[in-house]
Amino acid sequence: MKNFEYVRPDSVAQAVQALDRRGAMPLAGGMDMVPGMQDNVIIADRVVNLKSIRDDGVRGIRETDYGLVIGALTTLTEIAEHPVVQSHYAALAEATVEVGSPQIRNAGTLGGNLCQRPRCWYFRNEHYNCLKKGGPRCFAADDDAENQYNAILGGGPAYIVHPSNCASALVALDATFHVAGPDGPRAVHADDFFVLPTERLLQENVLRQGEIVTHVEIAAPADGAKSAFLETAERAGFDWGISGAAVSGVVRDGVINGPRIVLYAVAPIPWRARDAEALIDGKPLTEDAIRAAGEAALAGAEPLSNNGYKVPLTKTMVRRALARLA
């Protein structure tokens, strides 16, 4: 591991100040960052440990007039076990409880989960200097590549999938991410927070140098609002999912309004299946409608050489998640 300077800020303001220079990175639970640094694929010359921040707003879960506020340093265990999250924001509770193992959820935080780096094998191997690390090409796009876990939607020139399942749930729940930075605080809709490689190659979100996520806000659910998250993993109870879906909508008398269908682990960002959403909006959630939504959600898929299996698998994830709402 490369040597680095270590900073323990007392406040968000101090953290932002310490991070406002090239090569400085925030550290939260360290579940992604520390192994990445040990493997020389995440390089920081200044590590700013957010856990020393004493400001109240960055920790814990609070109910407000608007809905729910979750501090970025809240652990995944706290979120998964929170009764209000479980009863009113099921997609988030179901996504959070799927993260890694209990040990990882006890140490890992919401902010770190949303901002974790990609899992692509070539990215995680220091000997492959691929596009995502400023190198000349994407190794995953080769015909003989180990690309079974890479993107089938929205790929190019890089084909990562966004690793955070909480991110898909929060997009489905139309959350807002609050960010602090050198230019002051700003709010970013979850829909706009994650960016495709065509927009930014070296990072997966809109954060600028010096900015951190401080908290996430989700509106109180409307009467009849429901949500669900489902994933498939090769080793259940430990691994990242290889496909999944987060869905939400207001369901009354069997009719769904304002559906959101977000695909997980198939695109470089949590992937809104907008055609599928439009297909079922305002309609009864029948078996036929659910099947049609699954087909529409994957209509634009372009698998790589070894990940065609994700197309039927993800259709099934969408169908099963929507069936839960029905």
Ligand X SMILES: Cc1cc2nc3c(=O)[nH]c(=O)nc-3n(C[C@H](O)[C@H](O)[C@H](O)COP(=O)(O)OP(=O)(O)OC[C@H]3O[C@@H](n4cnc5c(N)ncnc54)[C@H](O)[C@@H]3O)c2cc1C
Question: Which residue ranges make up the site for ligand X (CB under 6 A)?
Answer: 25-33, 50, 72, 76, 98-100, 104, 107-109, 111-113, 115-117, 163-166, 207, 212-213, 240
Q: How far apart are CA 29 and CA 7, in angstroms?
A: 15
What would the 3-class secondary structure string for 235-246 be? CCCCCCCCEEEE
Residue range at the interface with ligand SF4 (CB under 6 A); choices 28-36, 109-117, 120-128, 205-213: 120-128
Contact between 152 and ligand SF4 per CB under 6 A: no
Site size for ligand SF4 (CB under 6 A):
14
CB contact at 8 A, 235 and 241: no
Closest residue to ligand X, judged by C-beta, is 112
Least distance (Å) from ligand SF4 to the CB of residue 167?
A: 17
- Rounded distance between C-alpha atoms, residue 217 and residue 176, angstroms: 5
- The interface partner of residue 313, options being ligand X, ligand SF4, none and the CB cut-off 5 to 8 Å by kind, is none
**Residue 31 site contact among ligand SF4, ligand X, none (CB < 5 to 8 Å, cut-off depends on kind):** ligand X
**What secondary structure letter does DSSP report for 230?**
E
> By CB under 6 A, is residue 240 in contact with ligand SF4?
no
d(C-alpha 35, C-alpha 32), whole Å: 6
Q: Which does 98 bind (CB under 5 to 8 A by kind): ligand SF4, ligand X, none?
A: ligand X
Nearer to ligand SF4, 45 or 142 (CB): 142
What mask, x for binding ligand SF4 by CB under 6 A, covers residues 160 to 179? x-------------------
Work out what residue 216 binds among ligand X, ligand SF4, none; the CB cut-off runs from 5 to 8 Å by kind.
none
SS3 readout for 200-211: CCCCCECCCCCC
**In the chain, where do the E strands start and end?**
5-7, 24-27, 46-49, 61-63, 67-71, 176-180, 186-189, 212-219, 225-232, 243-252, 255-264, 271-272, 283-284
Instruction: Give bridge partners of residue 246 from the DSSP assignment.
Output: 229, 262
170 binds, among ligand X, ligand SF4, none (CB under 5 to 8 A by kind): none
How many residues comprise the chain? Answer: 326
Which CB, 212 or 297, lies closer to ligand X?
212
Coil, helix or strand at residue 73: coil
Does residue 271 belong to the site contacting ligand SF4 (CB under 6 A)?
no
Token duo for residue 93 = 């509770």
Question: Can you give the binding site for ligand SF4, defined by CB under 6 A?
Answer: 118, 120, 122-123, 130-132, 138-140, 150, 158-160
